[in-house]
Amino acid sequence: MLVAALTVDSVGNGLFAPLSLVYFVRLTDVPLALVGVLLTVANLVALPLPIWAGTLADRFGPRYLVVAAEAAMALGFLAFAVVTGPVGILLAATVLAAGVRLFWCTIFTLVADYADGRPGGVGVDTWYAISNAARTAGLALGGLTTGIVVADGSTAGYRAVAYGAAVFLALAAVLVAVGVRAPHRAATAADPVGYRELLRDRPYLGLVALNTVYAMTSMMLALALPTVVLTGAGPPWLTALLLAANAVLIAALSAPLVRRLTGVRRTRSIAGAAVLWVLWCGMLAIVGGTGGVTATVVLVLGTLLFTVAEAVHAPISTAAAAAAAPAAARGRYLATFQYSFAAASVIAPAFFGGLYAVGHALPFLVLGLVNALSVPALLRLEQPLTARSRAH
């Protein structure tokens, strides 16, 4: 039931993902620049939410928080269908942003609790991989559906997408509330671990910092590939083909890859993903500004390397973060871990855009170097993080 709920949730989010800014430009008279500012403000308002959500997840369990998050997203999408001005857009976007932030800082605690309560010896790494595959498939299906629905450009099609997203998120909330049961060890006032102790936990904060690099790298395929192809590195249809192949392979490979890595230290699996990303960065640095069959082949092979790295990193990094967290503070630790993704989403566009303007190869050379330097830093954290995992 958890996998079904995550898939339904992802279809709902995937329906709206391709529209983003253009939705409000198409359906309202609000200028594009102002829409961008309003959405940024909404996301900034929601940014502190994980601090309280992590504490609530530890005290009361994550399930009801996930339900509340999906209900908030459903309400936000429903409001999107009717808002017409800046104030309405800001309020609706803030509700949605709060739901999104609340979801991401509690869903991984729910999956970890769910894995704890499942028989059969399937570890949390595999459950994270299964969840990642379900989410990727749902997002791809939602995005494809939206492409078909809004193909004629009618306002009715755009509003149908918003209504559809609201329905799917509401259904996901019901599925989690009714069908997902996960044991939870509730934190109490006597538990010694809080945010003060977390901020003194240097190995864990080191993992969060390094994961900011990996999270930013994982965003680069969708961010950089269209630009690289548009500069002549491949035929125009190549971007859509490679992004679709990435989604399909993530959905198909996540669980099998993670199962094959059972027994390998998580830090080494993550380091392996970083090495693959270094190779991908090298390929993109070389291919930028060139064209022809060779460039197309390089982009295809590079995307395959990127996809394997992404399929390994996404579940195993979160499993490492969950395993390193004290049982009574898993919600707070995983909520804090999500700040690495929030920071990456802020940094990545400026990082790529600024460096790409200087030179086509520069963002990939810098990113590859940072990933390469992250490997020895990650391996230095191996002993304390592995010891922590065994102790818990």
Average pLDDT over residues 180-187: 65
Residue 104 has pLDDT above 60, yes or no: yes
The reply to whether 204 falls in a domain is yes
- For residue 94, CA distances in Å to 87, 127, 349 come to 11, 31, 21
How many domains are contained in the chain? 2
Please report whether residue 192 resides in a domain: no
In this structure, are 126 and 225 located in the same domain? no
If asked whether residues 159 and 233 sit together in one domain, one would say no
47-51, 140-144, 180-184, 364-368: range with highest mean pLDDT: 364-368
Under 8 Å CB-to-CB from 4, ≥6 apart: which residues? 175, 179
Residue 34 in any domain: the answer is yes
Q: 155 and 246, same structural domain?
A: no
Please tell me whether residues 169 and 212 are part of one structural domain.
Answer: no
Percent of the chain with pLDDT over 90: 27
Q: Pick the residue with more confidence: 244 or 387?
A: 244
The secondary structure element, H or E, covering residue 22 is helix 21-27
Range of the domain at 318: 200-391
Q: At what angle do helices 382-391 and 362-380 cross, to 10 degrees?
A: 50
* Residue 386: per-residue pLDDT: 75
Let me know if residue 331 belongs to a domain: yes
Query: What is the residue-averaged pLDDT of the chain?
Result: 85
User: What number is the average pLDDT over the span 338-346?
Assistant: 86
Residue 7: what residue type? T
Note whether residue 19 is domain-resident.
yes
Distance between CA atoms of residues 250 and 220, nearest Å: 15
Query: Which pTM does this prediction carry?
Result: 0.84
Distance CA 147, CA 366 (A): 34
49 contacts 102 by C-beta, under 8 angstroms = yes
DSSP 324: T
Looking up residue 353, the CATH number of its domain turns out to be 1.20.1250.20
**Least confident residue range of 115-124, 280-289, 296-305:** 115-124
Q: Report yes or no on 191 lying in a domain.
A: no
Dihedral sign, CA of 106, 109, 113, 115?
positive
Say yes or no: 239 and 340 in one domain: yes
Q: Which of 179, 214, 249 is the last residue of a domain?
A: 179
For tokens 């395929």, what's the residue?
221
Q: Which residue has the higher pLDDT, 19 or 392?
A: 19
List Cβ neighbours of 303 (8 Å cut-off, separation of 6 or more): 221, 225, 242, 245, 246, 280
- Local confidence band at 184 (pLDDT 50, 70, 90 cut-offs): low
How large is the average pLDDT for residues 137-162?
Answer: 82
Question: Is the per-residue pLDDT at 277 higher than 50?
Answer: yes
- Structure confidence by residue, pLDDT tens digits, 197-241: 778 888 899 999 999 999 999 988 888 888 788 776 677 778 888
* Distant-in-sequence, close-in-space partners of 377: CB < 8 Å, separation ≥ 6: 206, 210
Are 326 and 297 within one domain?
Answer: yes
Residue 389 has pLDDT above 80, yes or no: no
- In the structure, what pLDDT confidence band is assigned to residue 356 with cuts at 50, 70 and 90? confident
Q: Are residues 163 and 281 in the same domain?
A: no
d(C-alpha 60, C-alpha 24), whole Å = 37
Tell whether 168 and 209 lie within a shared domain: no
